[in-house]
Structure 1
């Protein structure tokens, strides 16, 4: 298992993927943003344009947290917010057109191996694979919450 995880991490840090990520990460840093903002961008690639509440559900974060992240991303020029045409009280979040292509390339390059893996598995194997990953994440969150050295893991912040 350790060898497999090592190979997976090396693959994620490949030279081409690293060079491609430098531009986006550089823009994120230049806007005064950080790594915690990138999952919102990937969430918008996968689910957008969407209301903040829907994005929050997809990310398993609180709407307040996602709203804050979206506000920061909007100030940084990465996302746009516009009123929902059907319900003017709701705001629809989408990737800013000038950043869309870069963010999409970044997201799809990282998600491609996972998509290929899921497509290669049969329905029962896919179910077991996803169950294993959910269990791993839950155990990591539990360990983070219980370990004072890890500082805890907050799902809502």
Structure 2
């Protein structure tokens, strides 16, 4: 890109983000995992699944798969793994006995809530002052960045 094609405002924003993003990632990595969850070897995909169940409540494997944008078989494997470890439980749906509802176990709920609540509160504080359109633009921008970085690998 030649110097004349550059937008100083965009370049200033990029510089700010180049400083901010490593700090955000560093802070996220330093979030202390509760003792009850230390031995579970949780991956980022588990964090997303647990976040949905914590903030949106119990749901089916298909609902989780839709939200996580993965195949139901992938979610089913994760749910099975976390169920064996005592983190999640599956129960029959009273409205449709063919369906299984997935939820966080009562024993693990306090630890998971304590672990994830601070991040959710920080996002709420950051996003609440924005209009719905601004929030959508922010999320779309992060998605575009994610795709751009993924294309480079």
User: What is the TM-score when the length of structure 1 is the normalising length?
Assistant: 0.76
CA contact (8 A) 1:47 1:55 kept: no
User: Which structure's CA Rg is the greater one?
Assistant: 2
Q: Count residues in correspondence.
A: 136
Structure 2 runs not aligned, ≥5 long? 1-16
Structure 1 runs not aligned, ≥5 long? 148-157
1:98-141 C-alpha deviation (Å, 9 max, x unpaired): 00111111121222222211102223322221110121233344
Partner of 1:52: 61
Partner of 1:124: 133
The offset of 1:55, in angstroms, is 0.9
Aligned counterparts, 1:105-144, within 5 A: 105-143=114-152
1:50-102 C-alpha deviation (Å, 9 max, x unpaired): 01100111111110000010001000000110011111111000000100111
Partner of 2:24: 8
User: What is the TM-score when the length of structure 2 is the normalising length?
Assistant: 0.78
Structure 1 residues 10 and 37: alpha-carbon distance in aligned structure 2, compared to 1, 3 A threshold: closer
